Structure 1
Amino acid sequence: MAEFDVDLFVIGAGSGGVRAARVAAGHGAKVAIAEEYRVGGTCVIRGCVPKKLLVYGAHFAEDLADARRFGWKVPDCEFDWKTLRDNVLSEVTRISGIYGETLENNKVEVIHERATVAGPHEVKLASGRTVTAKYILVATGATPAIPDIPGKELGITSNEAFNLEAIPKRIVIAGAGYIANEFAGIFHEFGARVTLVNRTNVILRGYDEQIRDRLLQISSGKGINFKFDAEIERIEKQEDGSLLVYIADDDPIACDAVMFATGRQPLTNLGLENAGVELNDRGAIKVDDDNRSTCESIYAVGDVTDRIQLTPVAIREGQAFSDTVFGNKPHRVDYDNVPSAVFSHPPMAGVGLTEGKAREKYGAIKVFTSDFRAMKNVLAGRNERALYKMIVHPETDVVLGLHMIGPDAPEILQAAAVAVKAGLTKQAFDDTVALHPSMAEELVLMR
């Protein structure tokens, strides 16, 4: 008789958990996975996938206007939010179903219940059933953090944004990170009057300063309002159903919706103390380089840990965990030069060291930039400039970082990130013939 019911029990069927479960099962392990909501996790259900589809939908506002300059007789167009919303939700359901089919095809038992940790080798389900496992993997992700202020229940988060009955005419977004700036662009293009309220005077902390300043300049020029060094004190509902947002030392803001985009906190209310799993001061599960927690039999991957909160990172962590523990192919995730993007309007993307971080580490670095208007923007009469930036080691000529803002920046950066990851030099870029006419050619023309 087997010592445990399963070899691996995964809590959370998001990107990291699904990958770990599938790969472990492929290595011959008996695997069960529990998900209390829907298979797919944050990325598929209420994150990257539906958000990117909204970004595509929002961009038609500018594309339709620009088309007239290219000879298309575009009539005045009316946007129907419910059509986009329902189509996006339908696509989410389709992808979630594919994730579920993948698990079933790999003979992973899918349990649609909340699961908590009852001990080093025990998981308790909401139905009362207890499952024993040789290993437990926690992949529950994170959830939006909501400030504890009066009237907080009147606000929404990115989770609810995909299910709105209508686009608000006026919206206040608390925060200035990637979620705040992405939804600011989305709501603005859909016709809302957008105000971002941020406690500091910096947007997108951690991104290259020159690139994020360019986004601030472009967003402000489009009519998105930014209030810096401001903090929301309370929210009150008015008799007409609108909201009044009170700001410390400033006039209150009347709006129709408030979105909290003030960070994400790991989902760790899972009884982890029953197994001696320790959390860090930010509430994330402490793990070593092999994803193992302070309990020898319990591991964690993805946003529930305090590493890089990106879907592709969670997937790689899940792969590394299962290959190491079940596949006799031990390896670790390399967190250097991980590319990232902000799907703002226009989008930003970057990989490697920012100029500030590079100067801290190396001193007198070399910085190359290309500041230009994309050909399409020129003909469209759109005064919106792209900015590409290359950070180079002062002695070895190795490219330390690439950062950009402009049309299709994430698509261009993904390929360029390979060069940075490979440690190529600025000369390697210079030796590459430009692909003309393209925006990407600016990467090999910086002098």
Structure 2
Amino acid sequence: MLKVLFGVMMLMSVCGSWWGVQVGLFIFSFVFLLMGGWSFGVSYVGYGLGVDYIGYVLILLSFWIMGLVMLASSKVEKEKNFCSFFSLVNLLLLLALILTFSCMDYLLFYISFESSLIPTLILILGWGYQPERIEAGVYMLFYTLFASLPLLVSLVSLYHTGGSLTMGLGCKVYECGISTWIWYFSSVLAFLVKLPMYLFHLWLPKAHVEAPVAGSMVLAGVLLKLGGYGLIRIFPLFSFVNMKFCSLWASLGVLGGGLVSILCLRQVDMKSLIAYSSVAHMGLVLCGLALFGWWGLSGAMVVMVGHGLCSSGLFCLANIAYERVGSRSLLIGKGLMNIMPSMCLWWFLLSVSNMAAPPSLNLLGEISLIMSVVKWSFLGCLGIVLLSFFSAGYTLYLYSLSQHGQYFSSVYSCCSGKVREYLTLMLHWLPLNILIVKSSVFTFFV
């Protein structure tokens, strides 16, 4: 693990070489993938760091998505738009993510969790497209900070009570009074905002719409997973209290996901629609994690990995269309099949993966989550039916409206696609649909 951190720091020294950083990230991805052959439950490496299988999968996803981010953002290098600083910011964000997913101490985990906010904010403010990016950055900053400060106070209180903040050694909370409920909500709220849960999701569409393609891909691919990972780590401390409130989170997850899915059908901005679809998927993840069962945990992990690859690919496609047409509006960017016929195949492949069609990872994860919800409450089936139906509905809406119809009359000619773009999309789609063949990778959860 320390060698991985040292390797990322070494990449920072060559951030002036765009291709060197790209190749280095993909090499690290394959090396870290080979490390998965080790049979470790929890591997401690000292200095408060360690890796279990949950952290391993998310670190691997971080490496892979960051390599694809650099591949998709070659316009920054082509236009010489502070490309060295852009590479450095992305590598700092990757370092913060690796530290977050490998922390075995809750306080170090909190510091790493918050530090990932700074490079993301720099990406949005520095390489965003419109003046509204300042408002989007402020939304993201204050939503996250206001929700996270009570978590810090809660962690200090837990340290005072139990004498340790090491994961697995900390004192669990067994009381069930008003004060315990306050600490419980203070601890969980920070991760619900980052997930984000319905009612705390307003920062996400704003951040996605104003962010460059790199910011959108990282937000959807990895940063939303910080919320799910934090819930996996914090729920065991409050397992007794969580039994009282699991129905609240499960209900909000399923019903909130259904309401956001209906909202998706009213969106005309491509990136906004894909961002709202992330809220719907993460609502189902929250439901699985809150019910605190093996089916829910395994399904949530698979959906987080599948959604990270699928949503990142859809944002990449939206950026490709934006570069050709000059607008993200579905009313202007219609008829893309006429001007980019070969790109239509990738729109179809990633769209069907987004609606959890076989053989994508999303299907495997959503089956586990649906079984978890049905076991909890048969009435939950009604919410699942709404969620699944409207999930297919807004995905078909996105695909049909963007690919069919009369194309924008000002577009007389455009490139149907570059090799770099097809390579980026293929590297999103391949692991998303090939990993289900090797589904034994995820059997350590069940």
Please, what TM-score do these two structures have when normalized by structure 2? Answer: 0.25
User: Quick check: which one's strand share is greater?
Assistant: 1
User: Quick check: which one's helix share is greater?
Assistant: 2
Larger radius of gyration, structure 1 or 2? 1
